Structure 1
Amino acid sequence: MTDNYIFLTGATLLLFSIAYHLVLPWLSPLSRVPGPILARYSRAWKSYKLLKGDFEKLNIELHKKYGRVVRIAPNEYSINDSTAIKLLYGHGTKFLKTSWYFASGGVDPKKASLFGATNPVYHANERRKFAAVYSMTTLLTQEQYVDNCTRLLMDVFSDIAEKGSQIDWAFWMQLYALDVIGEITLGKRFGNIEAGKDVGNIITALDRYFRYMSFVGDYSQWHPWLTAMQHKFLPEHQRLSLKYITDFTANQVLLRQSETEDTGKGDVLSRLIQVHKDDPKKISEHDIFQACLGNIGAGSDTTSITLGAIFYYLLTNPEAMDTLQNEIQLKNQEGGLSFPVTFAEAQQLPYLQAVLKEAMRLHPAVGLILPRQVPAEGAVIAGVAFPAGATVGVNPWVAHYNEEVFGHDADKFRPERWLSDRETVQELERNLLTFGQGSRTCIGKNISLMEISKLVPTFLSRFEIELVNSSGKWQTWNAWFVKQYDLEVRVHKKKQISS
């Protein structure tokens, strides 16, 4: 009798627990928000979808099916509404970054990076330290570093063209972007362009890091434990870390700090060291290392993905390619372009700038929602009243494919949409999340824009590019950044080059 009683009691409690967890989501004030049924009960649905590597496409389809607000996990909601962008990400917003960002850095929240910092006061203080170093005015004095890498890349492409070799364009763009960020940050390339390969397996390390971050971010409480387990059980080369980049950066910082005289290089490291010497309280030695590490760790993917997208869309839209080629050729004939093309000269090519914006719209680097926490007073977003603590966010892909903003052809590559009147263009720009918005705008935005603006016209003034894959399709994988693979091309020297 006692055994039967214990069994019945246990079974009853188990059934009650199951029923409670099944019913609880329907008692929430947000129970009417639609979405996949499994997303109501567990984060497992979202985690499984993330592992498939195409969440940006799924996210767009979810909004087509369910509307402006979609549940993608318990108490997490994806928003597709243009008014939400300023509310969530604009200057002075009360919507703070969630614990998802914890997995992007170390396990000590007191040493969070600019990207991973969730405390707005801490973030503002940290960003203020480096703002002048990343201003466009300062970066234009470093244009020589981009030029060094661009000249080298053009020489390598000349050899590749003569051999008729087939190359993965997306891979080469990351080799280039890594060497540029090395020059700008440390005054020293990694040597990727010369070697034609991923020196030090940096790209592999970055890919592992972002796959880890994008998945574990939803289970940030696991991050300290997983980090400890990796160091305890995995050999160094298998850990989901950026050890090569960390060691390389640390060595360069120590080497530069040991120099008794100012080298006058003018790279980011030199400038930060000078600020530290002038006022050690403003920028510490740890700040110098973190800034350089952040540059190298996050400074290549956004740029290389954008460069991949620009050429992919030009290759699959020959009319746009012809229009851009004609603009570059005409400017070249007028003597308006240097080699390499300067950033200032690139700003005088309106169709080029339209192409760049349109490629960044159609293929933004980030492919997951930018999660934010609803503040204590709650908020109404897209007509839905959200209680405090709910996680909400906008996926740049969803925002950039919004037909109410970008028109019925939002899924088409049409640079001309950026050549409209100023008021229309400004409205479109308010809905771009390529580099984020507000106080959390990517601090390296200007570096990326300078590289992109210079390389595209420089390359097209000397080379033609041919897509090898006749299907016109590429492969992508979304692990925070939506990276391209197998973008196979051949490059050919132009018969006549205007000087």
Structure 2
Amino acid sequence: MFTLPQRMNITQRECVALIVSWALITHLYFRKYTFAPPHVFYTLGYLLVSPSLLSIPCIYAFSSVWRSLLISYTLSFVSLLAITVLYRIAPFHPLGNYPGPILARVSKFWAFWVAKGGKQHLVYKSLHETYGPIVRVGPNELSIINVEAIPVIFGEGMGKGHIWEARRPPVEPIALPGIRDPHRHALRRRAWNKALSSSSIKEFEPLIIRRIHQLVECLEGDAKNVVDLSYWFSCYTLDFMGDMMFGGGFELMRDGDKDGLKRFMASGIKNLALLHTIPWAARITWRIPAVAGRIIRLRDWSVKYAQRRKDSGSSVKDVFHYLINEDSDEGYTPDDLVVTDSLVAIVAGSDSTATVLSAIFYYLMMNITALEKLRAEINATIPFHGTLDSLTLANMPYLNAVINEGLRLQPPLPIAIQRSPLAGTGGKVIGTQFIPEGTAVNIPPYVMHRDSRYFSPSPDSFIPERWLREGADCKKYVTNVDAFVPFAGGFAGCVGKNLAILNLRMVIVVLVRKFDMVFADDYDSAKWEEELEEWFVFKTGKLPVVLTPKI
């Protein structure tokens, strides 16, 4: 049996030196690694156990077991914290020369605090106005709004950033957006590329038109009453994504949100947005029974619809058709990967499209001249009872200018387009700046799209004319299309971009042609910007309007 010697010749000063040395060695080791979820529990175990081991020789110096434990734990954590903070604010830190808030340099808990307020887009805009085009927004994180940096950030040698570690719950496979490695991402994305190719999207047009007609019927039922367009757009996009992924069945426009899907999705998106700021905390959070229960509940809901879709089949080659390789003679039962990716697609596709639609109609009602110009182009191009054709819509200059301007002012991903140099590359040179491995680089579209270097004059104003390439007004505006990144880019750019644009075009054309629209009398239009919240994607407030059918 092991017993301690009766006395060790160790002084209190030597004990302190031992503990501080441990803190320094621990810092030097862990600063080389991203505190990624797979390592969290080992790291926590090491940090919790080590001070107790260090306290053993200190028992003799402090003449008490409990006093030794107290001093060991206190001094260990205080020393480790002090060394870490001093290193992160030191000029010799790899990012020490980049400006930014002192609290952001010290800890990602600053980012958590900012994100918790739902106004991260405004904070980032203010940071860039204060510090310039490159801002340090975390201990190992930069935010960049230089257009010259975009091709490099989206280019070879850059993987997805650390925020995506938060999308890796232990209870299910990793969804496509959570795959950070470009090669693995490309393999998983093949089926999606096929499902959302130009020829495949052409087959989806009847689905879009059918759902738009249903949306019009719902709005006509409330005509001349106050209608919340944001609510109806969210119902429409969820119903359509349900058609795309599982052959239908959601029917929110018909039945309302009887299953609480919208509320559940909103809660999940908010929680994920907070976890993005401290990705290593995700693995702990996912293991909390209440959180895990929600994930399992949402996954069970997806499995139900996926199995029903497989059993019943579909007359349309929807996205699910491609994901399960339904053309194959063998085929296979929807597995965890298909269910997980389908669920992510529904959330991402419905929420982002609904918020952009709401934004565009808000801006059109704020700019009646633009609304009338758009209506005139629609009436001149498409007969009232004519069919919607994707090629015709793609060649309507003012319609596409309106959509681009809406995407510019309210992009689907306002802040969180993040990349990071791949392990083993040694880092990347972006412009004249060297970005070491382990550094996350953000491109915040909301901020870049409102930068007067790239969009002027009036970068915060809705002016579709800035996108026109013909006419007297086109030379009045600076419009740098290279700075326009609403759908990100590179290997992880939005796979559903073309489908989203087609959806926007069709909904806008039908509703603008069908209805006159004005804000409700008691609606304060300034509330739109005030109620806009950023939870990875934008969350809009209500958009109360009065619709009057034109015919």
| Coarse TM-score class (shorter-chain normalised) | 0.7 to 0.9
Contact 1:69-1:80 at 8 Å conserved across structures:
yes
Cα distance change of structure 1 residues 395 and 456 upon mapping to structure 2, 3 Å threshold: same
Residue 417 of structure 1 is matched in structure 2 by 466
Residue 338 of structure 1 is matched in structure 2 by 386
Tell me the CA shift for residue 382 of structure 1.
4.8
Q: 1:264 aligns with which of 299, 315, 337?
A: 315
Contact 1:68-1:382 at 8 Å conserved across structures:
no
Corresponding residue SS for 1:450? helix
Q: Give the whole-Å Cα distance in 1 for the aligned partners of 2:458 and 2:398.
A: 19
Residue 328 of structure 2 is matched in structure 1 by 277
Matched, 1:209 2:268: yes
Q: 1:78 aligns with which of 136, 143, 150?
A: 143
Matched, 1:393 2:442: yes
Q: Give the whole-Å Cα distance in 2 for the aligned partners of 1:274 and 1:15.
A: 56
Contact 1:206-1:242 at 8 Å conserved across structures:
no
Q: 1:101 aligns with which of 164, 184, 200?
A: 164
Contact 2:219-2:227 at 8 Å conserved across structures:
no
Contact 1:168-1:489 at 8 Å conserved across structures:
yes
Residue 460 of structure 1 is matched in structure 2 by 512
Contact 2:196-2:496 at 8 Å conserved across structures:
yes
Superimposed CA distance per residue, residues 135-186 of structure 1 (whole angstroms, 9 cap, x where no aligned partner): 121111121111111111111111100xx32222212111110011111222
Could you tell me which amino acid in structure 2 is paired with residue 250 of structure 1? V
Q: Give the whole-Å Cα distance in 2 for the aligned partners of 1:40 and 1:329.
A: 55
Alignment of 1:285-364 (within 5 A): 285-332=335-382, 335=383, 338=386, 341-364=388-411
Count of aligned pairs between the two proteins: 477
TM-score, structure 2 length as denominator?
0.79
TM-score, structure 1 length as denominator?
0.87
Q: Give the whole-Å Cα distance in 2 for the aligned partners of 1:356 and 1:191.
A: 27
Q: Give the whole-Å Cα distance in 1 for the aligned partners of 2:219 and 2:251.
A: 15
Q: Give the whole-Å Cα distance in 2 for the aligned partners of 1:30 and 1:292.
A: 38
Matched, 1:437 2:489: yes
Q: Give the whole-Å Cα distance in 2 for the aligned partners of 1:84 and 1:403.
A: 17
Tell me the CA shift for residue 285 of structure 1.
4.1
Cα distance change of structure 1 residues 235 and 47 upon mapping to structure 2, 3 Å threshold: closer
Tell me the CA shift for residue 389 of structure 1.
1.5
Tell me the CA shift for residue 439 of structure 1.
1.6
Larger Rg: 2
Q: Give the whole-Å Cα distance in 1 for the aligned partners of 2:81 and 2:337.
A: 49
Q: 2:83 aligns with which of 10, 20, 37?
A: 20
Q: Give the whole-Å Cα distance in 1 for the aligned partners of 2:151 and 2:326.
A: 34
Corresponding residue SS for 2:178? coil
Query: Can you give the 5+ residue segments of structure 1 that lack an aligned partner in the other structure?
Result: none
Residue 174 of structure 1 is matched in structure 2 by 234
Cα distance change of structure 1 residues 387 and 337 upon mapping to structure 2, 3 Å threshold: farther
Cα distance change of structure 1 residues 254 and 305 upon mapping to structure 2, 3 Å threshold: same
Cα distance change of structure 1 residues 351 and 107 upon mapping to structure 2, 3 Å threshold: same
Tell me the CA shift for residue 473 of structure 1.
3.0
Tell me the CA shift for residue 385 of structure 1.
2.5
Tell me the CA shift for residue 242 of structure 1.
7.4
Q: Give the whole-Å Cα distance in 2 for the aligned partners of 1:459 and 1:289.
A: 33
Contact 2:238-2:350 at 8 Å conserved across structures:
yes
Contact 2:101-2:137 at 8 Å conserved across structures:
yes
Task: Provide the alpha-carbon RMSD of the alignment.
Answer: 3.0
Superimposed CA distance per residue, residues 63-121 of structure 1 (whole angstroms, 9 cap, x where no aligned partner): 1100111111111111110011111113xx21111332122243279x32221101211
**Structure 1 stretch 33-42 or stretch 291-300: which is displaced more?**
291-300
Residue 252 of structure 2 is matched in structure 1 by 192
Q: Which has the higher contact order (CA 8 A, sep 6+)?
A: 1
Corresponding residue SS for 1:307? helix
Contact 1:205-1:242 at 8 Å conserved across structures:
no
Matched, 1:59 2:111: no
Superimposed CA distance per residue, residues 463-494 of structure 1 (whole angstroms, 9 cap, x where no aligned partner): 01111214443111111001211222121111
Contact 1:401-1:411 at 8 Å conserved across structures:
yes
Cα distance change of structure 1 residues 106 and 342 upon mapping to structure 2, 3 Å threshold: farther
Contact 2:230-2:543 at 8 Å conserved across structures:
yes
**Structure 1 stretch 341-350 or stretch 388-397: which is displaced more?**
341-350
